[in-house]
Amino acid sequence: MQFRFSCLAPATASLALLATSAVSAETVRQWQFAPSGETLELALREVEARAPAAHEVVVRVHAVSLNRRDLMMVAGRYGRGGTQPNSVPLSDGAGEVVAVGSAVTRFKVGDRVAGIFFEDWLDGAPSAASLATARGGNDGGMLSEIVVTDAEGLVAIPAHLTYEEAATLPCAGVTAWVGLFKRGGLEAGDYVLLEGTGGVSVFGLQLAAAAGAKPIITSSSDAKLARARELGAFGTVNYRSNPEWQNEVRALTGGAGVDHVLEVGGQDTLPRALQALGFGGHIAIIGGLSGFASDVPVGTLMGLNATASGIYVGSRADFEALNAFLAEHKIKPIVDKVFELKDAPAAFAAMDSGDFFGKVVIRL
């Protein structure tokens, strides 16, 4: 996939450099999804800074991270809500509070925070309205030196994490947490199947290992599998040299099958993942790297007395539960590649290549 980009489109105010205090600057640099014929391109632009409303917080963003969703957006293939022209990319970012509105009590200047994925999904079950507030591809995107957002749409980040590490949490980290613990009820000793070594799967590996479960992870790279073993993988399977990888996964469980699957592969992996699933197991349907599976075999699930859950990230309460677990176990997310703000298109290309382990981050 080619990522076209342009730099420093005409500013809507004077081209003042962003100060460290940031909120006093006249303009803010941010990347946008700019129209380019029938498609979109990444454009680095300067826009007017704005003061917070009474309930809002101004955050100086220090780092953001990419997800597969972001590639779909720039390619114009993200169906849920689409991508708004001249909107800001990326759902995931962390930074420092530099100003607060007059009615804000949740945060103060100097607090370290991350944006939640859905700005209005705070707790409980989602609604159509809350699911429409996903960041990225709209005004809530995080690939901007400054974001102004409702104070309710932020969480404090664990003290042991850097901004780069904290920026990886809002989508991939919360997704893995919800899939394994909230929806899957993971317990110590459970077998967990993780597909590939992208963000959700590596988070799943770290969380499962910390909880005393037995994570089994797949990859086409023996080098990546070696890294996974260093992070606590119970078992590893190279799916390129083992095309029937589900059989080897099942063998690693003594033939019983896994208790949990974080299913990120889509239509090519779902049938094999179900063959690796044990009786009473749970499969969290998350992604579609090979295309989203349109049919879930209900008969197979019934025969296994198993359950399947569609996972679309989670709420602010889920994010806070994840953070508490990370802090308790001193888990540090795996950041594989870091780019600077001006090199955002290269970060998108790195994400598209698949040549990474864990997360790709942009430092602002």
Q: For residue 286, is pLDDT > 60?
A: yes
pLDDT of the residue at 364: 96
Q: For residue 77, is pLDDT > 80?
A: no
- Are 98 and 58 a contacting pair, CB within 8 Å? yes
Mean pLDDT for the stretch of residues 253-262? 98
- Quick one: pLDDT band at residue 159, thresholds 50, 70, 90? very high
pLDDT tens sequence across 118-157: 999 999 999 999 999 999 999 899 999 999 999 999 999 9
Distance CA 194, CA 259 (A): 11
- Are 14 and 85 a contacting pair, CB within 8 Å? no
- Quick one: pLDDT band at residue 267, thresholds 50, 70, 90? confident
pLDDT of the residue at 81: 57
Q: Alpha carbon of 170 to those of 158, 160, 173: distances in Å? A: 13, 17, 6
Q: For residue 314, is pLDDT > 50?
A: yes
pLDDT of the residue at 127: 96
Percent of the chain with pLDDT over 70: 90
Question: Left if phi > 0, otherwise alpha if psi is -120 to 50, otherwise beta: which for 141?
Answer: beta
pLDDT tens sequence across 3-51: 556 655 443 332 233 333 444 468 999 999 998 877 789 999 999 999 9
pLDDT of the residue at 12: 36
Distance CA 176, CA 156 (A): 19
Distance CA 355, CA 288 (A): 18
Mean pLDDT for the stretch of residues 65-72? 93
- Quick one: pLDDT band at residue 268, thresholds 50, 70, 90? confident
Residue 275's contacts (CB-CB under 8 Å, 6 or more residues apart) are 246, 247, 250
What is the CATH code for 5-170+332-363? 3.90.180.10
Mean pLDDT for the stretch of residues 168-189? 98
- Quick one: pLDDT band at residue 328, thresholds 50, 70, 90? very high
| Orientation of helix 316-329 relative to helix 199-210, angle to 10° | 60
Q: Which residue blocks in 179-297 are alpha helix, DSSP H?
A: 199-210, 222-230, 245-252, 270-276
Q: For residue 258, is pLDDT > 70?
A: yes
User: Across all residues in the chain, what is the average pLDDT?
Assistant: 91
Q: For residue 348, is pLDDT > 90?
A: yes
Mean pLDDT for the stretch of residues 87-108? 97
Q: For residue 363, is pLDDT > 80?
A: yes
Taking alpha carbons only, the member of 92, 69, 86, 76 closest to residue 33 is 86
Tokens matching residue 234: 């119970």
**What is the homologous superfamily of the domain 184-310 according to CATH?**
NAD(P)-binding Rossmann-like Domain (3.40.50.720)
Tokens matching residue 95: 């930074």
Tokens matching residue 252: 């690693």
Domain ranges for the chain, please list them: 5-170+332-363, 184-310
pLDDT of the residue at 46: 95
What are the backbone angles phi and psi of residue 363, rounded to the nearest 5°? -95, 135
Predicted TM-score (pTM) of this structure: 0.92
